[in-house]
Structure 1
Amino acid sequence: MKQAICILIFGFFTISSFSQKISSTTNYIDALELYNSGDYIMLIYFYDGENSKLERKIKNEILKSDGLKTFNKDIVILNVDKNTLGTEEAAINKRPVRAFNPENIYPSISASLSKEGKSLPLMTSFSDSDITLFFEQLKALK
């Protein structure tokens, strides 16, 4: 009985020590505050809704994948929709477009690490090998 209790307690602390927070927002200021508040990786997902099949693949195989859950850093995902760049909030969201996607390529993803200021090149191709390479580069960021 004591052994079972010890295993449960150990399991609880092991799981909670590996807990990770993945936040998602469409507001650059909110994403930046989270990003700067701790040991975060920021993923910036640029999309335009014109290639729904590819955008669904990006969401499933990158943004909602188990691959993101392997990081020991918290992650904030900034979703930048090209079609909303005329709105008031979009004026703020044009900043990451200018900084990380100056050629306006949609869909695409960029990643940045807060403490070190390192970032990955803009990902614009999403074959299975490109996605594998992206996760390898993301792991190398930390």
Structure 2
Amino acid sequence: MKYYSLSVIFCCVTLLGFSQKIKWENNYAKALELTRNTDKMLLIYFVNGVDKEAERKINQDIFKSDELKSLANDFIIYKIDTNTNSRDSRYNERLISSYNYNRVFPAIKVAVVPSYNAPELFTKFDDAGIKLFFKTLKNLK
């Protein structure tokens, strides 16, 4: 019975560790405030729903990866979907015009405070682009 109980506890802890998901912030003002108050960087994910294959690859290879989960404590992650009409739409348009002024979708921008250290907008999500993305994130820490 003792070993059975230990096995159940071990399985539960293991499952909780594997099921850890990245926390998305859904309010821009709150995301910005958290960024300023915690010295975390803001990672902005721009999507418009047109290139579904690229968005699927980004979700699978970046946002569901263990690599990003290990770095997630350094970032506030905010998603801008141009197809969603929300109360943050005016903020989203400002962010698009500031960080994604060529309106390339999908794209990811890491906004670093101070902003002069911020990397370029990430728009290439092939295997080499994803490796560069993670290398850049690790170098920002």
Closer, same or farther: CA 34–117 of 1 in aligned 2, 3 Å? farther
CA–CA distance in structure 2, aligned partners of residues 53 and 102 of structure 1? 23
Q: Is the 8 A contact 1:110 1:122 kept in 2?
A: yes
Paired residues, what number?
Answer: 122
CA–CA distance in structure 2, aligned partners of residues 94 and 22 of structure 1? 24
Deviation digits for residues 116-139 of structure 1, max 9, x if unmatched? 762110111100111001111111
Q: Is the 8 A contact 2:104 2:123 kept in 1?
A: yes
Deviation digits for residues 59-114 of structure 1, max 9, x if unmatched? 12112211113338432111001123x65420121121111101111100011234
**What residue in structure 1 maps to residue 29 of structure 2?**
29
Deviation digits for residues 30-76 of structure 1, max 9, x if unmatched? 21011111131211000011122210111121122111133384321
Closer, same or farther: CA 141–51 of 1 in aligned 2, 3 Å? same
Q: Is the 8 A contact 1:48 1:82 kept in 2?
A: yes
Segments of structure 1 that go 5 or more residues without pairing to the other structure are: 1-20
**What residue in structure 1 maps to residue 122 of structure 2?**
123
With the length of structure 2 as denominator, give the TM-score of the two structures. 0.75
- Please give the secondary structure, in 1, of the residue aligned with 2:45: strand
**What residue in structure 2 maps to residue 9 of structure 1?**
none
- Please give the secondary structure, in 2, of the residue aligned with 1:83: coil
CA–CA distance in structure 1, aligned partners of residues 28 and 53 of structure 2? 26
Deviation digits for residues 8-29 of structure 1, max 9, x if unmatched? xxxxxxxxxxxxx953123221
- Name the structure with the higher helix share: 2
Q: How does 1:1-142 map to 2 (within 5 A)?
A: 22-71=22-71, 73-84=73-84, 87-114=86-113, 118-142=117-141
**What residue in structure 1 maps to residue 5 of structure 2?**
none
CA–CA distance in structure 2, aligned partners of residues 103 and 115 of structure 1? 22
* RMSD (Å), alpha carbons: 2.4
Q: Is the 8 A contact 1:22 1:74 kept in 2?
A: no
With the length of structure 1 as denominator, give the TM-score of the two structures. 0.74
